[in-house]
Chains A and B, each alone.
Chain A
């Protein structure tokens, strides 16, 4: 059979696009790798962070703000479709500041957001105001910016819900299906898989770090590089910190996550003690009460970074119907990937909102 849409890459981006397309009636196949793979989705910290997103990059800022505001619909629809809870909590987000200068920078973020035509609710809290929200706040914290629009979610539950919603809705999820070759053919594309070819009228390449290798086969350019981020996870703690925050959050199960770092180490998804130590030290400055809490794991994960950190959404000019989709913000953008990108690529187009995210922008610097 020939699917309306084949999505290569079963992470947060691919799964959202696949489900989004299938729920508008398209027949969809989602091809995913095996158990051992880089899987940036597993390493996501879980913030849907709107305050300060895309400052100086208006198209990205607006795209992200739209995504944030569609998140309630996303999680409700996924719950209705699957009975699964993504763990989404819109409790607002705190960006902690350790000096007045840092607090001023946060004010500047709001000003610049507004200057670019974006609107976001942001409050600025001094220590006293912050103590009302976070009684155990550490003595070194001078204040924070707070936005009630920020939220957090379990990226793992989100991925599970998207994959299940796709399957429950009749879509095909094919794990253990590493793709080595994609060939354009009459009427669409043939994807070579270990269990035979999978045919699709349209195709989306959303394979994270694996996209760079496959993109040229579709006349696409997806120059992505790995950037490592480490995250520290604690044992369960009784719920006491409901907010999203720039350096830590408490999951629905009660574990605290500390994150995250930015390291250029190639494809090394291991860990460095000093980085984990720094993450812990920052967390202790914010919540000294975490001192005795047990750390049960810390790990590294590779973000999928384009040269300017913004997404790539693009249709191949050489092979119309082939699309590129990559970003490092697969959680925040899951809503627009599902509601906007999915139906669009199934119909062979991209939304106007993402017109500036083609890979051609990287060639501009070439002179």
Chain B
């Protein structure tokens, strides 16, 4: 759905893992941008009706981009800078207590 307007250097790219899959990103990307750039569609499943949801506003207002980052649930991916080695999962429904 998205492409970079500039070629990058994929061999040297930092990566996050999303649902076990390695995703390359560019420094400065928010996690949401990195995931969208990788072609990921739904970032979460609504806890109310299980519908697939994805970023809508990219500015922290809509709370649709909630994902689990390094074990922390319901984090706004658009407000979180992507960092090398992050382990990310979809937020499937409501938070689960440990």
Mark A residues whose CB is within 8 Å of B.
Answer: 136, 235-238, 240, 254, 287, 289-290, 292-294
Contact B98 A293 (CB under 8 A): no
Q: Can you list 26 A-B pairs with a CB-CB distance of less than 8 A?
A: A136-B97, A136-B98, A235-B74, A235-B94, A235-B95, A236-B48, A236-B95, A237-B94, A237-B96, A237-B97, A238-B93, A238-B94, A238-B96, A238-B97, A240-B97, A254-B47, A254-B94, A289-B97, A289-B98, A290-B97, A292-B72, A292-B73, A293-B95, A293-B97, A294-B74, A294-B95
**With A292-B73, A294-B74 in contact, do A236 and B97 touch (Cβ < 8 Å)?**
no
B45-75 vs A: 1/0 string, CB under 8 Å?
Answer: 0011000000000000000000000001110
Contact A238 B95 (CB under 8 A): yes
Contact B95 A237 (CB under 8 A): yes
Give the contacts of B16-49 with A (CB-CB under 8 A): 47-48
CA distance A294 to B68 in the complex (A): 13
Give the contacts of B78-98 with A (CB-CB under 8 A): 93-98
Nearest to B73 among chain A residues (CB) is A292
Closest Cβ of chain A to B12, distance in Å, is: 34
With a cutoff of 8 Å between Cβ atoms, the chain B residues found around residue A136 in the complex are: 97-98
Other 10 A-B pairs with CB < 8 A, given A235-B94, A238-B93, A240-B96: A136-B97, A235-B95, A236-B47, A236-B48, A237-B95, A238-B94, A254-B47, A290-B97, A293-B97, A294-B74
With a cutoff of 8 Å between Cβ atoms, the chain B residues found around residue A238 in the complex are: 93-97
CA distance A358 to B96 in the complex (A): 49
With a cutoff of 8 Å between Cβ atoms, the chain B residues found around residue A292 in the complex are: 72-73
CA distance A237 to B74 in the complex (A): 11
Mark B residues whose CB is within 8 Å of A.
Answer: 47-48, 72-74, 93-98
With a cutoff of 8 Å between Cβ atoms, the chain B residues found around residue A287 in the complex are: 97
With a cutoff of 8 Å between Cβ atoms, the chain B residues found around residue A240 in the complex are: 96-97
Closest Cβ of chain B to A154, distance in Å, is: 15
Closest Cβ of chain A to B63, distance in Å, is: 9
CA distance A360 to B70 in the complex (A): 63
With a cutoff of 8 Å between Cβ atoms, the chain A residues found around residue B97 in the complex are: 136, 237-238, 240, 287, 289-290, 293
With a cutoff of 8 Å between Cβ atoms, the chain A residues found around residue B47 in the complex are: 236, 254
Nearest to B95 among chain A residues (CB) is A237
CA distance A290 to B73 in the complex (A): 12
Nearest to A254 among chain B residues (CB) is B94
CA distance A178 to B96 in the complex (A): 44
Closest Cβ of chain B to A66, distance in Å, is: 36
By CB atoms of chain A within 10 A, which of B47, B93, B95, B97 has the most?
A: B97
CA distance A271 to B98 in the complex (A): 30
Closest Cβ of chain A to B79, distance in Å, is: 13
With a cutoff of 8 Å between Cβ atoms, the chain A residues found around residue B48 in the complex are: 236
CA distance A237 to B95 in the complex (A): 5
CA distance A238 to B94 in the complex (A): 5
With a cutoff of 8 Å between Cβ atoms, the chain B residues found around residue A294 in the complex are: 74, 95
CA distance A237 to B94 in the complex (A): 5
Nearest to A296 among chain B residues (CB) is B63
A-B complex: 10 closest residue pairs judged by Cβ atoms: A236-B94, A289-B97, A238-B96, A236-B47, A238-B94, A289-B98, A237-B95, A254-B94, A240-B97, A237-B94
With a cutoff of 8 Å between Cβ atoms, the chain A residues found around residue B93 in the complex are: 238
With a cutoff of 8 Å between Cβ atoms, the chain B residues found around residue A237 in the complex are: 94-97
CA distance A192 to B65 in the complex (A): 52
Closest Cβ of chain A to B33, distance in Å, is: 23
Nearest to A290 among chain B residues (CB) is B97
With a cutoff of 8 Å between Cβ atoms, the chain A residues found around residue B74 in the complex are: 235, 294
Closest Cβ of chain A to B85, distance in Å, is: 20
CA distance A156 to B72 in the complex (A): 31
CA distance A73 to B97 in the complex (A): 34
